[in-house]
């Protein structure tokens, strides 16, 4: 099975130009190559606000399932005051995700109202929308330019979004995102850079993501440590009970 996967991974870049001109196919290929049944990493998040003030948060993230129907638990490990705070995310292919937060200090889970996807994620420069799983069919794509090593694509959301359109740069050789520029009605809102790619279990993986909030002049760097794919995980570990089980 692994050999077959490696073979496909080797052959696909050669075949890529044959269908690479279709922007939707490019995005589908990106998702296909990043597909994994489960994922775990330890994230370090550095928020560097205007004036170079630094705030650091850490968490452990586990996901079971893939695009559209996955479940994930994110558990903060630092700073000390939020240690144990957990977030359960249940994604649905046809509607917004359900999210519950577990706060040990009050000993109960709370369903999070998430009508505004432009809300920043725990005070960082990521919005909740930036962290959502992206369904290809919810966007219209256009190939804007062939820039040698990368394609430049434009996506426009079909459903409501804080963004009017976004530009994506995708590397041709391994179908990975390099950069995203997201625009609102008044111009550029955010840039997202994907850095330090490494192959982990055959999947090209950015080890850091840097987002820059243009209006706030603030940036957030998310580093992925101890990242692993396709670990054995159980459905029972992605429930409200699982959320409250750990300290």
* SS3 of residue 231 by DSSP: coil
Stretch near other proteins under the rule CB under 8 A, chosen from 27-35, 101-109, 133-141, 223-231: 101-109
By CB under 8 A, tell whether 239 contacts other proteins.
yes
Stretch near other proteins under the rule CB under 8 A, chosen from 3-11, 76-84, 130-138, 178-186: 76-84
* SS3 of residue 126 by DSSP: coil
Among 32, 35, 108, 217, binds other proteins (CB under 8 A): 108
Site string for other proteins, 116-135 (x = CB under 8 A): x-xxx-xxx-----------
Identify which of residues 96 and 131 has a Cβ nearer to other proteins in the complex: 96
Among 69, 110, 138, 196, binds other proteins (CB under 8 A): 110
Among 12, 101, 114, 208, binds other proteins (CB under 8 A): 114
Q: What is the dihedral of CA 184, 177, 129, 210, to 10 degrees?
A: -90
Alpha helices in the chain (DSSP H): 2-19, 23-33, 128-131, 240-245
Stretch near other proteins under the rule CB under 8 A, chosen from 19-27, 36-44, 103-111, 170-178: 103-111
How far is residue 203's CA from residue 121's CA, in Å, rounded to a whole number?
Answer: 26
Q: What is the dihedral of CA 160, 21, 16, 177, to 10 degrees?
A: -40
Identify which of residues 16 and 114 has a Cβ nearer to other proteins in the complex: 114
* Nearest approach, Cβ of residue 55 and other proteins (Å): 4
Interface of this chain with other proteins, residues 200 to 229, rule: CB under 8 A:
218
Identify which of residues 66 and 119 has a Cβ nearer to other proteins in the complex: 119
Alpha helices in 161-236 (DSSP H): none
In this structure, how many other beta carbons lie within 10 angstroms of the beta carbon of residue 153? 22
> Cβ(210)–Cβ(220) under 8 Å?
yes
Identify which of residues 164 and 237 has a Cβ nearer to other proteins in the complex: 237
How far is residue 110's CA from residue 119's CA, in Å, rounded to a whole number?
Answer: 17
* Bond before 79 cis per omega within 30 degrees: yes
Provide the angle, in degrees to the nearest 10, between the axes of the packed helices 2-19 and 23-33: 170
Stretch near other proteins under the rule CB under 8 A, chosen from 32-40, 63-71, 81-89, 184-192: 81-89
By CB under 8 A, tell whether 158 contacts other proteins.
no
How far is residue 173's CA from residue 177's CA, in Å, rounded to a whole number?
Answer: 11
Q: Which helix (H) or strand (E) holds 100?
A: strand 98-103
Stretch near other proteins under the rule CB under 8 A, chosen from 110-118, 166-174, 179-187, 195-203: 110-118
The residue ranges that bind other proteins (CB under 8 A) are 47, 49, 53, 55-57, 78-81, 83-84, 92, 95-96, 98, 104, 106-108, 110-111, 113-116, 118-120, 122-124, 218, 236, 239-241, 245-247
């Amino acid at each position: 099975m692994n050999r077959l996967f490696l073979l496909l991974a080797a052959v696909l870049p050669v075949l890529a130009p044959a269908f690479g001109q279709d922007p939707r196919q490019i995005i589908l290929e990106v998702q296909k190559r990043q597909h994994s049944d489960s994922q775990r990493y330890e994230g370090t998040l550095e928020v560097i606000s205007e004036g170079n003030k630094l705030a650091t948060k850490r968490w452990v993230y586990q996901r079971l399932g893939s695009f559209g129907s996955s479940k994930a638990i994110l558990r903060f490990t630092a700073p000390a005051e939020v240690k144990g705070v957990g977030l359960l995310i249940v994604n649905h292919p046809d509607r917004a995700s359900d999210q519950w937060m577990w706060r040990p200090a009050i000993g109960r889970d709370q369903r999070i109202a998430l009508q505004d996807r432009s809300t920043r994620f725990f005070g960082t420069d990521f919005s909740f929308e930036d962290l959502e799983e992206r369904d290809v069919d919810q966007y219209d794509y256009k190939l804007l330019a062939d820039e040698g090593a990368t394609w430049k694509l434009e996506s426009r959301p079909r459903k409501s979004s804080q963004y009017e359109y976004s530009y994506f740069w995708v590397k041709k050789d391994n179908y990975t995102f390099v950069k995203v520029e997201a625009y609102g009605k008044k111009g550029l809102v955010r840039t997202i850079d994907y850095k330090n790619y490494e192959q982990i279990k055959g999947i090209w993986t950015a080890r850091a993501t840097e987002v820059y909030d243009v209006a706030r002049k603030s940036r957030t760097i998310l580093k992925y440590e101890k990242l692993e794919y396709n670990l054995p995980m159980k459905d029972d570990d992605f429930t409200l009970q699982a959320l409250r089980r750990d300290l």
